[in-house]
């Protein structure tokens, strides 16, 4: 399919009646829920495309790998330390990202 939005918004409370509980809404009925590619109401719930999330995760992992290669290029220990710090940060971010969003 073409032109799939990376983000959609669920409209669960178009009248902006309050801070309801989504679980309670599910018990009642999901019939009143609609979605849009644009945020319309203040209570709209933002959802990201799984494909977009996976693409972002893959980018983080790829850049961390490039940083790993750069570490080997520097004879200077301070430069290595800087690139190692960057790579380590990206690896931690990738792990957190994976735990939150990627389902195996």
pLDDT value at residue 20 = 67
pLDDT at 39: 92
What is the value of pTM for the model shown?
0.59
Q: Which residues of 17-46 are buried (b: 16+ CB within 10 A; e: fewer)?
A: eeeeeeeeeeeeeeeeeeeeeeeeeebbee
- For the chain, the domain total comes to 2
* Average pLDDT of the segment spanning 2-12: 88
- Mean pLDDT over 56-81 rounds to 82
Query: What pLDDT shows up at residue 26?
Result: 63
Mean pLDDT lowest for which of 9-13, 35-39, 91-95, 100-104? 100-104
Summarised one tens digit per residue, pLDDT across range 10-65 is 888 766 666 667 777 666 666 678 889 999 888 888 988 888 888 888 888 888 88
Query: Is residue 14 domain-resident?
Result: yes
- Determine the pLDDT at residue 27: 61
Q: For residue 42, give its domain range.
A: 7-48
Residue 37 lies in a domain: yes
User: Is there a single domain that holds both residue 37 and residue 63?
Assistant: no
């Amino acid at each position: 399919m073409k032109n799939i939005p990376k983000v959609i918004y669920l409209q669960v409370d178009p009248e902006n009646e309050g801070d309801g509980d989504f679980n309670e809404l599910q018990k009642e009925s999901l019939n009143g829920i609609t979605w849009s590619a644009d945020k319309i109401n203040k209570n709209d719930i933002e959802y990201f495309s799984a494909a977009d999330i996976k693409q972002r995760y893959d980018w983080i992992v790829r850049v961390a790998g490039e940083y790993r290669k750069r570490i080997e290029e520097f004879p200077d220990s301070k430069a290595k330390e800087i690139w190692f710090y960057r790579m380590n940060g990206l690896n931690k971010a990738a792990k957190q990202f994976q735990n939150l969003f990627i389902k195996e």
